[in-house]
Amino acid sequence: MQSSNVINYDYTIAKYFAIATIVFGIIGMSVGVLIAFQMAFPELNNLAGEYGTFGRLRPLHTDAVAFGFTLSGIWATWYYVGQRVLKVSLAESPFLMFMAKLHFWLYIVGVAAVVVSLLMGITTSKEYAEFEWPIDIAIVLVWVIWGIGLFGLIGIRREKTLYISIWYYIAAFLGVAMLYLFNNMEVPTYFVAGMGKWYHSVSMYAGSNDAMVQWWYGHNAVAFVFTVPIIAMIYYFLPKESGQPVFSYKLSLLSFWGLMFVYLWAGGHHLLYSTVPDWVQTMGSLFSIILILPSWGSAINMLLTMKGEWGQIKENPLIKFYVLASTFYMLSTIEGPIQAIKSVNALAHFTDWIPGHVHDGTLGWVGFMIIGALFHMAPRMYKREIYSKKLIEIQFWIQTTGIVFYFTSMWIAGITQGMMWRATDQYGNLAYSFIDTVTVLHPYYTLRAVGGALYLLGVFMWAYNMYKTMTASKAIEFEPQNASPMAA
């Protein structure tokens, strides 16, 4: 065992996942920009035959961003943050190091299988759960391996107190494990009924039961992939980068338990005005409103952490990413509950306001936090200063502009859609045909695609800055305590 005074953290796996985060971010968001332009210019669906159509590419985009970019970012930060707050190096345990490497490479194999199967049109058609049973088994195996590494590192820690970030990583592991197993219960048709392809399956649930389980999973996939582990990141990276202690540790715990209890019951708001029981719909709406409290508790806690130090926003572009990420989190977690109110949902459901809500969260909250986290990690992992501060500043403003273009265009498009769909003439007939709404929305679809392209440009700038940081920037002799060193 190493001396507790000098711990040489091993960032090998963190580096692997950091590179995967960048690669999957570029792939997933490039596909997203393409399908956004396909919505505005349908002839772009003909670029690559069946493999280039919106129907094939949309699940590829969703899963590449959710389970490629985001999960890789979560795991990159876990293998960095976990060692540092637990005060133990991964290298101290050959078994945990082996499991970490197995985690990464099995994950990469799983991602390759997902890409091929989705492009081939092999899908269960369930949102965020499109993979057939062989891939599901591989995903469960990857998750179990991470869990062994997670609890194994906790088990050999020197720091006895578990920092709040660790609580959130544990919650992400347990939450996704439970959700994924129950929602992906499926029956392989070939082996049970002797029909269909060997990899084909049907859900164990049917009808309304299937819908309720799917959106219990679907909404909480957002909770335990896009929310909980991202909160784990900001509770570590904002205080470390700013040199400020967390404003209130009690508030962090209160928000944690509030989030754990409330989020799990909000999924019913995806099924308003459907055939599921009315009490399920009402419970989904009610818990969505209550969800504002723990969500804003975490975000306000982070913003108050900067109390008296707001000048750092001007000097340090990474603080800009963290603060605006918290702000977008607040925006997204007030917008979602508003959309879950039954009267509002009657207007909003199935409209483009919904992807507008999703993307101000994923691009502003999730994207900015992962980008900012990897920038903070880079000097400490590679022992080099960040290549260009100016490039980060430009990236920040380009991506912020892109996000604003995206969600404002979708807000306007969605509300316009909802109003046109329900408009009637003096005789009570529908005033507009479906194609009338499509024609009206074309400018907003174009603006959405431009906003996505700007965000993607920022991702390429991030990738370039990270690559130059890894390979060519000035070496640093001592690890920075707080603000990350960066060349002008």
**DSSP structure class, residue 47:** E
Write down the pLDDT at residue 358.
93
Distance, in Å, from the CA atom of 292 to the CA atom of 295, rounded to the nearest integer, reads 5
Write down the pLDDT at residue 184.
95
pLDDT tens per residue across span 210-247: 999 999 999 999 999 999 999 999 999 999 999 999 99
Write down the pLDDT at residue 402.
98
Q: Nearest Cα to 41, choosing from 438, 336, 357?
A: 438
pLDDT tens per residue across span 114-134: 999 999 999 999 999 999 999
Write down the pLDDT at residue 4.
42
**How many other C-beta atoms are found inside a 10 Å radius of the C-beta of residue 332?**
25
Write down the pLDDT at residue 488.
87
Write down the pLDDT at residue 3.
40
Residues 454-461, mean pLDDT to the nearest whole number:
98
pLDDT tens per residue across span 326-382: 999 999 999 999 999 999 999 999 999 999 999 989 999 999 999 999 999 999 999
DSSP letter for each residue of 178-231: HHHHHHT-EEEHHHHHS-S-TT-EEESS-HHHHHHHHHHHHHHHIIIIIIHHHH
Distance, in Å, from the CA atom of 257 to the CA atom of 261, rounded to the nearest integer, reads 6
The reported pTM is 0.96
- The mean pLDDT value of the chain amounts to 95
pLDDT tens per residue across span 65-111: 999 999 999 999 999 999 999 999 999 999 999 999 999 999 999 99
Residue 10, CA distances (Å) to 83, 88, 92, 215, 381 in order: 8, 9, 9, 39, 9
- % of residues, the chain, pLDDT over 90: 97
Distance, in Å, from the CA atom of 97 to the CA atom of 279, rounded to the nearest integer, reads 48
Write down the pLDDT at residue 23.
98
Q: Nearest Cα to 144, choosing from 108, 103, 104?
A: 103
Residue 233 Ramachandran class (φ > 0 left, ψ -120 to 50 alpha, else beta):
alpha
Structure tokens at 164: 């709040």
Write down the pLDDT at residue 5.
62
Distance, in Å, from the CA atom of 57 to the CA atom of 211, rounded to the nearest integer, reads 23
Is residue 414 scored above 50 in pLDDT? yes
Judge contact between 454 and 398, C-beta under 8 A: yes
pLDDT band per the 50, 70, 90 thresholds, residue 32: very high
DSSP letter for each residue of 443-485: HHHHHHHHHHHHHHHHHHHHHHHHHHHHHTSPB-SS--SSSPP
Is residue 2 scored above 90 in pLDDT? no
Is residue 1 scored above 50 in pLDDT? no
Burial of 341 (0-12, 13-18, 19+ CB in 10 A): middle
pLDDT tens per residue across span 8-24: 999 999 999 999 999 99
pLDDT greater at residue 59 or residue 2: 59
Judge contact between 398 and 320, C-beta under 8 A: no
Write down the pLDDT at residue 6.
79
pLDDT tens per residue across span 180-215: 999 999 999 999 999 989 999 999 999 999 999 999
